[in-house]
Structure 1
């Protein structure tokens, strides 16, 4: 399944909306409100994913997961990060034990 092109296309739309009129675009309105508003929305979406998962219904979970991914991409664009940076991080972790990866992160922080 080739989903990366969809994500790349979405990121391009989100980048274009940085300069749109906040009255004409939901994304532009988030950017205009700033980081705190974006983070609040991201937190809300994460909570909705948890609730949908807990309720065990496939459709709502898919919908909420899409919302969470969308708003995560909004945050990345707002922060000037590229999708490729996140994908590279995931690729670097591939084939590595999650326990090893966590231990390596803790070693860098300590």
Structure 2
């Protein structure tokens, strides 16, 4: 689809929702015109049109918090954009990661990003050890201790499954996941590395088979 086929409003603008490509968090909402969208696609960085200043602006040009564009999609009416990015810093001018940091209503806790949040906390413990922290203890003990825990938790998952105990399996898989994340931190393996491998094995491969 060409840019000219998109439905810009009477002012020549189209709203663009900016989303973290890794976590799925909505970072901000901006507006683009034909020129800023073209520059965004050419530079692989987000460019917007400022309605107050009536000029183009490049996200992160002064702050350094640029947004590397990974994918651009549009809705069914072709009158709004969803742009997935790799953020190089906070999206909000307040310093918050997302402009949508204030909650008006919440029915359930936000569990969607728990793996990424936990990974960040594990990384923080490695960079800034805290006495009494179990994660700090594991890093101090080293990879052999972590590998031992991964093995123990794997065995516990098997036992729980053999006992057909759902709650025990949930508990033990959670323990196994945590220790695996610590191991990944030690080895420099990221969540994205795992996602890419799983995508290549199960999603992309299936798609190719249908072609």
Same fold (TM over 0.5): yes
**In the TM superposition, what whole-angstrom CA distance separates every residue of 1:53-110 from its partner, at most 9, and x where no partner exists?**
000011001110111111100100111111110111111111447xxxxxxxxxxxxx
**TM-score, structure 2 length as denominator?**
0.43
- Show structure 2 runs of 5+ residues with no match: 1-23, 25-110, 207-211
Q: Which has the higher strand share?
A: 2
Q: Which residue of structure 1 lines up, in the alignment, with residue 196 of structure 2?
A: 88
Pairwise CA RMSD of aligned residues?
1.7
Quick one: distance in 2 between partners of 1:86 and 1:4? 17
> Relative contact order: is structure 1 or structure 2 higher (C-alpha 8 Å, sep ≥ 6)?
1
For residues 26-105 of structure 1, the aligned pairs below 5 Å read 26-95=134-203, 96=205
Q: CA deviation at 1:33?
A: 0.3
Relative to total residues, which structure has the larger helix share, 1 or 2? Answer: 1
**Pair 1:25 & 2:133 matched:** yes
Secondary structure of the structure 2 residue equivalent to 1:94:
helix
Post-superposition shift, 1:4? 5.7
Where structure 1 has 5 or more consecutive residues not aligned to the other structure, the ranges are 98-110
Tell me the distance in 1 between the aligned counterparts of 2:112 and 2:188.
19
Q: Over alpha carbons, which structure has the higher Rg?
A: 2
2:139 & 2:199 partners in 1: Cα distance? Answer: 29
